[in-house]
Structure 1
Amino acid sequence: MRDIYRIFWKELVQVFRDRKLVFSTLILPVLLMPIFMFGPSLVLQRLLQGAQERKQEVAVLNLPEEALRALEQAGLSPKAHPDPEGAVREGKYPVGVRYEQGVYRVYGRLAGGLTEGQVAVSKVQGALQALKEAKVAEALAQRGIPHQVLTPFQVEVVDTSPEREKAGGLLGFLLPFFLVVFVLTGGQVVAVDATAGEKEKGTLEALLAAPVPLLQIALGKTLATVAMALLSGAAGLLGLALGGALTARFGGLLSGGEGQTLALGGQVSLDWGSFLALFLTALLLALFMGAVMVSLGLFARSFKEAQSYVVPLQLLALLPLLFLQFRGFLELQTWHYLLPLFNVALLMDALLKGSATPLQAGLTWLSTLVYGGIALRLAVLAFAREDVVYRN
């Protein structure tokens, strides 16, 4: 154990001697994550609010007088134009309207993402819809029919999601994603430097010549990778939680369709059991990925080559997390919690929602531990091969 600790401490000391590396890995995420979480949502909210209050010009053709008045009441400025569609396509107007044979055709450039043109189109649609309802109400009143006949009943949608899931908002999805990102990023720093980096510096041969079992060498380097990965993950989560709290406090909401809103922030509420389970999941993930990165780094001839191996590994690890956004369409089976990386993503998501079961947690932890043991065994075998250690 003493030799493992010495190797473990040696690797961490080398990392912490580089102040720029420590700043970029542990401090910068805490500072940047609130900006990433809070900044875009606040800016977008202000831009949407400004677009709603601004009076946009509308290219119109053959519109009745009542439609023109409806557009003006909605904060729009109708401008007669012989070709509203062409004017919008050329960018002269954000929106255009043509009335022909009882049909209002609204033109807008809608394929470029969220723009002021889309806001103007929504304002035109709202104005014309209000005009339509007013004319229907007027026609019904002339015939002595109450307007309520058009709405014989109402439909109310109630969100029955658990309180923890509703409180999390979008942060409940982002937390597992960024946790894995920071775990991989922080672990890469130590894993690459402790293997390919030592090859380039010429210190790996001296370490292997010491009377220390290969298992202890591999375990010491892997544990140093795990420690840095967890520190990086904690720094990232701290910044993410701070950004989510700021966003939720200052109203980081985006307007959705039909009056709905999307919460960009959120508050993750975990009891001690769920918190410890989440920490253990992250620890086992870091152990698994750390052993894999140590093995890949040892096979590399240089520091740059090791980085070229680790980057595709990171993309591969993030792939299961992308499927979390489609989890509502999947019928999860027990064996899904045995799939490497995918099981970690599923368990983290369930823990944050408060829906994880002991069976799901046990299968995920046991399988991830087995995968980590296999990866560690591969690292030991790599250390034992001279054709791998002396590749340069």
Structure 2
Amino acid sequence: MLWRVAVRDLLATIRDRRTLNATIFMPLVMIPLLTLGLPFLMGNLIGGKQTERQKVGVIGTLPAPLRSMLESDVKSESGAVLRSGVTLVPVTDAMKAVQDGDVEAVLKPAQPMPTQAGGQTATLEVYGKLASMSSEAGAVGKVQNVVEAYNRSLTVDRLKTMGLDEQTLTPVRVQAIDATPEQARRSGMLAFLIPMLMLQFILSGGMATAVDATAGEKERGTLESLLVTPVRRSEVVGGKLLATTLTALISALFSVAGFVVTGFVVAQLRARQDGGSLASEMSSMMGGQLTLTLPGVLALLGIGLSSALLISALLIAISIYARSFKEAQTYIAPLSMLIVIPVIMLQFADFLNFSTAVYATPLIGSMIALLDTVKGTVTTPHALLAILGNLLGALLVSMVARRSFGREEIIFRN
């Protein structure tokens, strides 16, 4: 009887094409767009500013070597332009020229610029929209890099006159060697988004079934006919919980498929000849690859299943209290915040030391355990604690839902 109730609600869900889109197609499309498309877009935007020639105003006189360095392109060994130079134009009012958009930056020497090291230090005023990421990636950033290179060239020339070489400036060189585990390195900088997206799609996948099977049936008047049949209230709650959990798990499964697709695309980018471009490098660094061992897969499945049970029980318990479909959606909206807010904490997970008890916290412990699983650092006790916390929470919330189905003031609240 429990399975019959579940099939009844699942058929109602399958008939709604919008629900299928939210459950299947949205995870497959949105996850690659967020974890791969966004970094790729940022890389293209920043790389485009680097290879684009910007106008830079000049007030006063710049040394000829510095002007040449500012106007010259930086190229790779193959001849491709990595960073283009700037076009220097004379201006009279620095602030007005930048604010009106005539130039992206203005250079104004406060004192005569030196042509050799060891003399008087001069200040070069750089006017630009410093709060603008576009300006920082474009003209202002280029000017700062060129001035640093100019200073170094003057210092090197000064050392040569003293019989010293460039190595004198760096008596100790630092060679950084990445000791991060391979799986954690592959997961990328946006790994903290994976737990949020998985739980978010579990919520969105189960919400349609849960709301339609409770508040929707109350609104249509079909819930009363179900409750007068010879079916125990626990079977009704169990069937609806099963249907909601199955829908949520399907959404979670396709969200994992979305991460796998992202990882495959990142691997192809790394293997291509043009993988050294800024866009592909940012996609590889931030998007990452989802590579799991067998214990990691089992942990992911266990945490995902227990999370789906807990979220489904919450959806059923909340939706049965609502008078209508729209009212149920209003009550459920704050649940998204319970998933989004901990992501702020997960961004700084490397700085935090989580106690063992945190893993037993429903949903929050699951997000931390999922992040550990993606990075390959999850331990069996932590995974089991996260699963147990979710199961215990699901049991308690299911009991609340069972009690609500037995109260006429809730069933006939509309």
Q: 1:8 aligns with which of 6, 9, 15?
A: 6
Q: What TM-score results when the alignment is normalised by the length of structure 1? A: 0.92
CA contact (8 A) 1:15 1:21 kept: yes
Q: CA RMSD in A?
A: 2.2
Q: Distance in 2 between matches of 1:319 and 1:50?
A: 34
> What secondary structure does 1:59 align onto?
strand
Which residue is equivalent to 1:301?
323
1:320 is paired with a residue whose SS is: helix
Question: Within 5 A, what are the aligned runs for 1:361-376?
Answer: 361-376=383-398
Deviation at 1:260, TM superposition (A): 9.5
The answer on whether the counterparts of 1:336 and 1:343 sit within 8 Å (CA) in structure 2 is yes
The Cα shift of 1:261 comes to 9.2
Measured in 2, the distance between the counterparts of 1:361 and 1:40 equals: 31
Which amino acid in 1 is paired with 2:50?
A: Q
Relative distance call for 1:35 and 1:359 in structure 2 (3 A) is: closer
| Corresponding position of 1:381 | 403
1:63–1:117 Cα change, 3 Å? farther
Which letter does structure 1 place at the counterpart of 2:391? L
Aligned residue type for 1:10: R
CA distance in 2 between counterparts of 1:189 and 1:24 reads 9
Q: Which whole-Å CA distance do the structure 1 matches of 2:404 and 2:228 have between them?
A: 15
Match of 1:279 among 282, 297, 301: 301
1:140-219 aligned at under 5 Å gives the runs: 140-170=159-189, 172-219=191-238
The verdict on how the C-alpha distance between 1:138 and 1:333 changes in structure 2, with shifts beyond 3 A counting, is same
- CA deviations on 1:350-371 (whole Å, 9 max, x unpaired) are 1122212222122212121111
**The one of 312, 317, 341 aligned to 2:363:** 341
Contact 1:109 1:118 in 2 (8 A): no
Whether the 8 Å CA contact 1:168–1:268 is kept in 2: the answer is: yes
Q: Using a 3 Å threshold, how does the CA distance of structure 1 residues 316 and 13 change in structure 2: closer, same or farther?
A: same
Distance 1:134 1:253, change over 3 A: closer
The aligned counterpart of 1:44 is: 42
Change over 3 Å in CA distance of 1:234–1:260 after alignment to 2: closer
Alpha-carbon displacement from aligned partner over 1:2-34 (angstroms, at most 9, x marks no partner): x11011111101111223321332124323433
Q: CA deviation at 1:136?
A: 0.8
Give the structure 2 partner of residue 110 of structure 1: 130
Q: Hey, what's the Cα distance between the residues in 2 that align with 1:253 and 1:294? A: 50
The answer to whether the 8 Å contact 1:254/1:262 transfers is no
CA distance in 1 between counterparts of 2:207 and 2:18 reads: 15
Structure 2 residue runs without a partner (length 5+): 74-84, 112-121
- 8 Å Cα contact 2:128/2:135 also seen in 1: no
Task: Identify if the C-alpha distance between structure 1 residues 199 and 173 changes in structure 2 by more than 3 Å, giving closer, same or farther.
Answer: same
Match of 2:117 in 1: none
Is the contact made by 2:206 and 2:248 (CA closer than 8 Å) also made in structure 1?
Answer: yes
Alpha-carbon distance in structure 1 between the residues aligned to 2:60 and 2:175: 39
Counterpart CA distance in 1 for 2:16 and 2:41 is 35
Residue 321 of structure 1 and its aligned partner are, at CA, apart by 2.9
Question: What are the residue-to-residue correspondences of 1:180-329 with 2, within 5 Å?
Answer: 180-250=199-269, 263-329=285-351
Displacement of 1:271 in angstroms is 1.5
Aligned to 2:82: none
Unaligned runs of 5+ in 1: none
Taking the aligned partners of 1:243 and 1:147, their CA distance within structure 2 comes to 44
Residue 9 of structure 1 aligns with an amino acid whose one-letter code is V
Q: What one-letter code is carried by the residue in structure 2 that aligns with 1:153? A: V
Greater displacement, 31-40 / 326-335: 31-40
| Structure-2-length-normalised TM-score | 0.88
* In the alignment, structure 1 residue 80 sits paired with structure 2 residue 90: yes
Say if 1:171 and 1:268, in contact at 8 Å, map to a contact too. no
SS at match of 1:98: strand
Query: Partner residue of 1:89?
Result: 99
Q: Percent identity?
A: 33
Does the CA contact (< 8 Å) of 1:178 and 1:237 recur in 2? no
Deviation track 1:72-127 (CA, whole Å, cap 9, x = no partner) reads: 12411111112323322332211222211301122221323x31553221211111
Letter in 2 for 1:71: L
Aligned partner letter, 2:43: Q
Residue among 15, 21, 24 paired with 2:22: 24
Aligned-pair CA distance for 1:171: 5.0
Structure 2 Cα separation of the partners of residues 298 and 369 of structure 1: 21
> Are residue 139 (structure 1) and residue 161 (structure 2) matched?
no
Separation in 2, partners of 1:260, 1:172: 14
3-state SS in 2 of match to 1:141:
helix
Per-residue deviation, 1:174? 2.5
2:369–2:382 Cα contact (<8 Å) kept: yes
